[in-house]
Amino acid sequence: MLTQQESRVQVKDYGTFKDSLRAPVHRWFQYPAGYSYKFIEAKAKEYRLAASSWVLDPFVGCGTTCVTLKQLGINSIGIEAHPFVYWVAKTKLYWEFDLSNLHADIERFWRSVLEGINHGQVSFADTKSLPPLVHKCFSQDNLSKLVFLRDTIERFASDEHTKDLLRLALTATLRLASRAGAGWPYIAPSRYHEKHEQEAFSTFYRLVGQMYQDLLYITARAVPQDTQCLLIQGDARDHHPTIPPSSIDLVITSPPYLNNYDYADRTRLEMYFFGWASSWRDITQNVRARLITAATTQITGNNAESGTSATTRYKTHSTTGLC
């Protein structure tokens, strides 16, 4: 039983990702735009959701709503327009691994990493093709290690779910192994106060181990097998025929609003590193233009039917040294 003060503290944090930073699965990717999984647990209780209920989150982000409901055995549908964020949510929602096979695969992966290191492959990692922004965020040593890990994952002979898990661990490694400090990503890398970067190999190793432990933890808690979770990559404003009329019992969401949070801008390091985009123009045209306007800087991007506005935005960024 919580005291009144404890309850107030919990509610205060519902709108932040603070609780989720420490929670199994939720912590696989730190999405500052995300909310607390405890908020979803509280709403499930308040609205007496049952195993037959269906919840819709039209702006599901990195999947907090669906991950929490899946753990509670409640069906859910999530929609997300940002392709990278959608991929994060999808990866966090796949728990149907044979865990002993996964363990063997991860061991096999480490062996190929060690082999590569012993054969001096790290220094041959091709970092040159990455946009300048990525170079500004890392020492050359850490960047070579990260690119070597990325390429080893791509070459690794395994199923896509296992590779996605490894890719997500590497995604989470990026910010920790970066020397980009306070103020990032709102101010240019040339102006932020640099922080100490964590060594890439040991950070990645730790995060893969943590993900495996989280999977052991959640699957040991008897998640109901028939709980359904449908993720849709698309625009919440569109008609989605996969959601039948009158099929939703409750909508829980945190929509984009004008708080100057630019979801596309926030993920550019990850998108550049993994090759989802190679320039600001790519991000503007392929991601920003699909999202509801949440930042004043986005207005030109959203209006960009041709490349003209995107180019204007690109130039603005270049002058602050971001691209």
Residues that bind ligand SAM (CB under 6 A): 31, 33-35, 59, 61-62, 64, 79-82, 85, 235-237, 254, 256, 263, 291-292
Phi, psi dihedrals of residue 64, rounded to the nearest 5°: -50, -45
Shortest approach of ligand SAM to residue 222 CB, angstroms?
A: 25
DSSP state of 84: H
Shortest approach of ligand SAM to residue 231 CB, angstroms?
A: 11
Element (H, E) at 230: strand 229-233
Shortest approach of ligand SAM to residue 101 CB, angstroms?
A: 29
Nearer to ligand SAM, 27 or 150 (CB): 27
In a 10 Å sphere around its CB, with 0-12 CB exposed, 13-18 middle and 19+ buried, how is residue 190 labelled?
exposed
Side chain identity, residue 68 = T
Nearest CA to 143 among 131, 154, 135, 151? 135
Shortest approach of ligand SAM to residue 269 CB, angstroms?
A: 16
Nearer to ligand SAM, 82 or 167 (CB): 82
Shortest approach of ligand SAM to residue 45 CB, angstroms?
A: 18
CA separation for the pair 177, 231 (Å, rounded):
30
DSSP state of 207: H
Nearer to ligand SAM, 61 or 189 (CB): 61
CA separation for the pair 136, 204 (Å, rounded):
20
Nearer to ligand SAM, 57 or 105 (CB): 57
Percent composition of the chain: helix, strand, coil (DSSP 3-state, to 5): 50, 5, 40
Shortest approach of ligand SAM to residue 238 CB, angstroms?
A: 8
Helix, strand or coil for residue 134? helix
Nearer to ligand SAM, 69 or 79 (CB): 79
Nearer to ligand SAM, 59 or 314 (CB): 59
